[in-house]
Chains A and B, each alone.
Chain A
Amino acid sequence: MKAQDAYQSVAEQPQTSAYEQNPEYHIPTSEHYPASRSIENTTDKKTAKESVADFYPIAETKPLSKSELYRRSILEITENTNNLLAIRLAHEGVMQKPKR
């Protein structure tokens, strides 16, 4: 089929959505989500925690390099310092001394 013919055949198709063509397909029923597939009713020997891990696999973690640990320490110090100064600045000349 030439490109022009392919375009023509697509263009001539009725402009209906997939839902309009087959409404049942989109309706979620218990058939689509049977209770037996839920974590609680799983029939295999996996625990709920393991099943969750299957659905949401956690990215493999590897130990941080020395330079990365160093970078994070500096970042943490900088962040805590900036947070402290922001709070101090907000209280300077505002925070009242206790009454004598």
Chain B
Amino acid sequence: MPTLLSKTLSLLTGDDSVPNIEWLKLPKNRKLQTYTERELINLESEIGKELFGPVPEKHRREFFCLDDKTWIWHEEWMDADEKICSATTRYEIQEKGILKVQKNSRYTYLDGDELDNFAAAVAVYYERAAREIYKIDPDSGLPLN
């Protein structure tokens, strides 16, 4: 009995003989691919970029946690001359506070509203990444049902 695949192929090619479709089949013992750290960060960044409101047209934004001491905000956009501009801000978690590092700018520790906003962004990022990507309850650390 012809399989659906061979039937479809014969219909498409108009060939009535039984075609050899072995080369089309995927090996059954093929391992499922898993996410690397970089890919997980990319998934998280999809959430991160939404935390600060809609991304303007011709802008690309990324916000993600790089490691236990570093958060990155990266933004790219086109200026009036269609030239690509970019700005990267690094937030370093230190015992003394959160150090904001920007190119051509003075390093400062976050304070006031800026610190509150950053803390809120990190909290929502963790909450949403845990629930939406890893399917884990952020409070208990248990898998979501």
Contacts and interface: CB of A to CB of B under 8 A. Distances in A.
The judgment on whether A and B are partners is yes
A45 interface: no
A95 B40 contact: yes
Interface stretch (A22-30, A46-54, A71-79): A71-79
A80 B44 CA distance: 14
B126 A70 contact: no
A76 B119 CA distance: 7
Give the size category of B's interface with A. Answer: 20 to 34
The majority secondary structure among interface residues of chain A is helix
B102 to A, nearest CB: 18
Given A70-B115, A96-B32, A97-B32, A80 B97 contact: no
B89 to A, nearest CB: 15
A54 B37 CA distance: 55
Given A74-B97, A88-B37, A91-B40, A80 B67 contact: no
Contact of B34 (A70, A74, A94): A94
B125 A92 contact: no
B56 to A, nearest CB: 27
B33 A97 contact: yes
A71 to B, nearest CB: 9
Contacts, number: 76
Contacts of A83: 126, 130, 138, 141
A46 B143 CA distance: 45
B65 A93 contact: no
Contact of A97 (B34, B122, B125, B136): B34
A85 B40 contact: no
Given A80-B123, A95-B35, A87 B136 contact: yes
B126 A80 contact: yes
B35 A93 contact: yes
A78 to B, nearest CB: 6
B111 A76 contact: no
A84 interface: yes
Interface of B: 32-37, 40-41, 44, 65, 67-68, 71, 93, 95, 97-98, 111, 115-116, 118-119, 122-123, 125-126, 129-130, 134, 136, 138, 141
Pick the 5 closest A-B CB pairs, nearest first: A80-B126, A96-B32, A97-B33, A84-B126, A73-B119
Interface of A: 70, 73-74, 76-78, 80-85, 87-88, 91-97, 99
